[in-house]
Amino acid sequence: MKKVLLAILGILIILAAILLIKTYTYPFKKNTSGTGEGWKPVKNDSAVMRFSGGIKIPTVSTGSLGEFNYAPFGQFKEYLKNSYPLVYQHTEYVEVNQYGLVYRLKGSNAKLEPILFLSHMDVVPPGDADIKNNEENVFRPDDKPSEPVAKVAEDWDYAPFSGAVANGRIYGRGAIDMKGMLFSLMESMNNLIKNKQIPQRDIYLAFGFDEEVGGQKGAIQIADYFKKKGLKFDAVYDEGGLIMRKGNVAGVDADVAVVGCAEKGFLSAKIKVKGLGGHSSMPPMESAIGKAAVIMQRLEDDQMKPVITPLIKEFFNNIGGTMPFTTRLALANQWLLKPVLISQLTKNNTTNALVRTTTALTMMKGSDGTNVLSPEVEFVVNFRLLPGNTVKDVREHIAKATKGFDVEVEEIDNTREASSVSPTNTRAFKLIEAGVKEIYPGAIVSPYLTMAGTDAGKYEIVSKNVYRFMPIKINSPEQQSIHSTNEYLSIENYLKMIHYFEYLMKNYDK
Tell me: the pLDDT tens digits for 371-393? 999 999 999 999 999 999 999 99
CA distance 76 to 99: 10
CA–chain centroid gap for 348, Å, is: 19
pLDDT value of position 201: 98
Longest dimension (CA), the chain: 89
- From the CB of residue 495, how many other CB atoms can be counted at a distance below 10 Å? 21
Kindly list the distances between the CA atom of residue 82 and the CA atoms of 44, 54, 175, 317, 434, in Å, as whole numbers in the listed order.
18, 11, 20, 47, 33
Instruction: Quickly state the pLDDT bin for 422 (edges 50, 70, 90).
Output: very high
Q: What single-letter amino acid sits at 173? A: R
Q: Give the confidence band of 36 by pLDDT, cuts at 50, 70, 90.
A: confident
Span 329-351, pLDDT tens digits: 999 999 999 999 999 999 999 89
pLDDT digits (tens, 9 = 90+) for 239-282: 999 999 988 888 888 999 999 999 999 999 999 999 999 888 88
Alpha helices in 195-263, H assignment, sequence order: 219-228
286-311 mean pLDDT: 97
pTM: 0.95
Angle between helices 45-55 and 71-83 (to 10 degrees): 170
Residue 434 has pLDDT above 80, yes or no: yes
What is the pLDDT, as a whole number, of residue 64? 67
Q: Distance between CA atoms of 169 and 151, rounded to whole angstroms?
A: 16
Q: What is the mean pLDDT of the chain?
A: 95
Note the pLDDT of residue 34.
Answer: 66
